[in-house]
């Protein structure tokens, strides 16, 4: 609860400070605005009281004592709390790491460490192909390298397909995936894929070789 209903209509510095203390460990924008509103109400009453005091003083009338004097000591506490909350909030924001496009692609490609992709469609020069029995069963598993946790490191890892071929992958940028088959009997084979689309459920990539553009569409699980 943001602040109790019992204190909701009390326009005093004490209630504003108490509200802030309640929210000190779970600070939110809503609580911040509400507490400031209460302090605003308090200062409004202080202003009216001071105006009345000045008016009575100008007329040489006895100055009435108000209940605001004991409250003034709470103002310093309120602003002290406000300063530290803003300071801590700013520090926590500066510590946040923004996910780069490459990091996002690597995360989607490998999931929670590794991810299985099942071949769903194949196009050759934009023409849909009928999948063979082997292609309908074809899968590819991408695994993330532990160094990917560092946002400054290039995103890379390993992969293996259902045909038994394995290799390494590296993201060249946010649109290019470079793969090297390392266990090919005739030697390493490198393929550079263009990433058309990648989501939590879809991997759409294509490569060009021998004057043909082959597009492979996978679904993830």
Q: How confident is the model over 141-184, as pLDDT tens digits?
A: 999 999 998 988 999 999 999 999 999 999 999 999 999 999 99
Confidence grade of residue 193 (pLDDT, cut at 50, 70, 90): very high
Half-sphere exposure of 30 (CA within 13 A, CB side): 5
Distance between CA atoms of residues 33 and 210, nearest Å: 64
The one-character DSSP state at 100 is P
CB 195 within 8 A of CB 178: no
Confidence grade of residue 16 (pLDDT, cut at 50, 70, 90): very low
Per-residue confidence (pLDDT) for residue 160, from 0 to 100: 98
Inform me whether the pLDDT recorded for 49 exceeds 90. no
Classify residue 100 by burial, with Cβ atoms within 10 Å: 0-12, 13-18, 19+: middle
**Mean pLDDT, the chain, as a whole number?**
78
For the stretch 90-113, pLDDT in tens is 555 445 668 899 999 999 999 988
Domain 101-220's class?
mainly beta
Distance between CA atoms of residues 79 and 138, nearest Å: 64
**What is the pTM for the complete model shown?**
0.59
């Amino acid at each position: 609860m943001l602040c109790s209903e019992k204190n909701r209509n009390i326009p005093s510095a004490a209630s504003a400070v108490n509200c802030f203390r309640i929210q000190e460990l779970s600070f939110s924008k809503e609580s911040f605005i509400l507490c400031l509103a209460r302090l605003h109400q308090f200062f409004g009453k202080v202003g009216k009281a001071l105006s009345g005091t000045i008016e009575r003083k100008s007329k040489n009338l006895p100055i009435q004592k108000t209940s605001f004097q004991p409250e003034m000591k709470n103002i310093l506490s309120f602003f002290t709390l406000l300063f530290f909350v803003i300071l801590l909030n700013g520090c926590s924001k500066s510590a946040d790491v923004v996910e780069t496009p490459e990091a996002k692609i690597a995360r989607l490609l490998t999931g929670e460490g590794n991810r299985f992709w099942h071949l769903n469609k194949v196009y050759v020069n934009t023409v849909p192909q009928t999948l063979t029995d082997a292609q309908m069963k074809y899968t590819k598993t991408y695994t993330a390298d532990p160094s990917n946790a560092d946002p400054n490191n290039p995103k890379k890892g390993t992969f293996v397909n259902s045909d038994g071929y394995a290799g390494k992958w590296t993201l060249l940028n946010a649109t290019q995936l470079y793969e090297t088959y390392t266990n090919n009997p005739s030697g390493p084979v490198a393929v550079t894929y263009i990433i058309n689309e990648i989501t939590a459920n879809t991997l759409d990539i294509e490569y060009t070789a021998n004057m043909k553009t082959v597009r492979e569409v996978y679904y993830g699980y």
